[in-house]
Copies of this chain bind each other. A is one copy, B any other.
């Protein structure tokens, strides 16, 4: 493919491979977004009389045929194309001749790629929010089922105080609901139209940036044209930062699940269709997927670092370095999406070993309760009862005698006594359900509006059936 900037000399082959090999492969994901952008841009060029109606229709029709080809995997981006923008312009020129050569009027690949990534990010966040809500919902269901199932609460990985399985699960749901707030903030930044910034300095042509922005369903035009370019990598980073928060929660969920399924804890069993085996040890059932969730959290943190590291210290204006942020951005979205899905699968499939949980609620968990009881019964200040109970318990533990055990009923009684907000006896699941429902409504609205806008842009008759 002739490069858009070709002016009569050939680029060194090593240089071409070094620059474009990876980028062209990634750009296959951006075909439809680039087409959508070109549809809106063409409509605007018609609006300001730089295309006439016939030319516009030619372009519209050729662009829609790309959508059809993409839906069946027939449209590709070759390394010699450099990028999706070139391969699409090349297709348009081939299909429409002179008209195709007009499409790039008043824009640059710099603002095109920004647009593609914004639209791609939007779509991905719609899907990720949905996965997040699924996991949240699975956790709340799980919490509800096990609201009265006692388990040890740990600090410093040591048994600390009485907790419940419901409390454990509901905590993750709340974490994810907080994450949604960060995700929404990043979504808001992403929801700005970059088109018209061109190479970063605008164009001496009276383009209508608001028109294009509306056509594509953006909340607003991103105003300053240098800032538009300077925000490359920045907004991707903002999204990845929100994803990193989600992943940190999943990492904790994974680590807990891995611990709780060891022979030593034995709180959970995992159905074997979620496990893998060993090539040497016939007995093994490994929860590899949660190890991978744990590892991919670190990967996502590295991707966050990568994007922000690349952009750090760059001068204003487009720099080629930005191209290197495309892959970590896409990968981070993939990771978050897949890991949310896997965690929902795990939470929905956990087999709880009730008797092991109860048996683990040993004597020392109640030392604090005992100290509080003494405060009341002996009318002593807490710090004194703490010391008395501390001495007692230590002595008992050191004697290694059989220690007193509480019955399941007693344990449940104790759970109920944690009746303050957010305690094991007062989980507040309805409040979480309400937050979940509210967030779902907002995101469904976002998704629906976006789909409708894009359908209008394409024209319903042109929507590939696969979409």
- Residue A174 interfacial (CB < 8 Å): yes
Are B312 and A221 in contact (CB-based, < 8 A)?
no
Residues in chain B near residue A321, CB distance under 8 A: 291-292, 294-295, 298
Are B316 and A12 in contact (CB-based, < 8 A)?
no
A323 to B201, CA, bound (A): 36
- Residue A259 interfacial (CB < 8 Å): yes
* Smallest CB separation, A162 vs chain B (Å): 7
Interface residues on A, range: 35 or more
A328 to B300, CA, bound (A): 12
* Smallest CB separation, A315 vs chain B (Å): 5
Are A160 and B299 in contact (CB-based, < 8 A)?
no
Could you pull out 8 A-B pairs where Cβ atoms are within 8 angstroms? A12-B274, A12-B345, A152-B263, A155-B286, A157-B291, A161-B200, A282-B392, A302-B302
Known A-B contacts A19-B292, A248-B311, A324-B292; the reply to A367 vs B282 at CB < 8 A is yes
Chain A 312-336 per-residue mask, 1 if CB under 8 angstroms from chain B, else 0: 1111111111111000100000000
Residues in chain B near residue A155, CB distance under 8 A: 110, 199-200, 229, 278, 281, 284, 286, 317-319
Known A-B contacts A155-B319, A185-B181, A245-B238; the reply to A306 vs B299 at CB < 8 A is yes
Residues in chain B near residue A372, CB distance under 8 A: 105-106, 203-205
A377 to B178, CA, bound (A): 57
- Residue A168 interfacial (CB < 8 Å): yes
- Residue A40 interfacial (CB < 8 Å): no
Of A102, A188, A238, A312, the most chain B CB neighbours within 10 A belong to A312
- Residue A117 interfacial (CB < 8 Å): no
Docked complex: A386-403 residues within 8 A CB-CB of B:
386-387, 389-394, 397
- Residue A115 interfacial (CB < 8 Å): no
Are B417 and A204 in contact (CB-based, < 8 A)?
yes
Name which residue of chain B comes closest to A254, CB basis: B313
- Residue A422 interfacial (CB < 8 Å): yes
Of A85, A228, A311, the most chain B CB neighbours within 10 A belong to A311
A280 to B112, CA, bound (A): 11
A14 to B206, CA, bound (A): 46
* Smallest CB separation, A213 vs chain B (Å): 9
Are A390 and B7 in contact (CB-based, < 8 A)?
yes
Which candidate, A31-39, A423-431, A440-448, A449-457, is the interface stretch facing chain B? A423-431
Chain A 102-140 per-residue mask, 1 if CB under 8 angstroms from chain B, else 0: 101111111000000000000000000000000000000
Which candidate, A69-77, A93-101, A459-467, is the interface stretch facing chain B? A93-101
- Residue A42 interfacial (CB < 8 Å): no
- Residue A65 interfacial (CB < 8 Å): no
Cross-chain contact of A221 among B108, B204, B262, B422 (Cβ < 8 A): B422
A376 to B260, CA, bound (A): 37
19 other contacts beyond A93-B383, A248-B308, A283-B394, with CB at 8 A cut-off? A4-B279, A7-B394, A11-B275, A15-B273, A15-B345, A18-B338, A101-B382, A153-B199, A157-B259, A204-B414, A205-B420, A209-B422, A227-B422, A264-B265, A282-B390, A291-B319, A292-B324, A302-B302, A309-B312
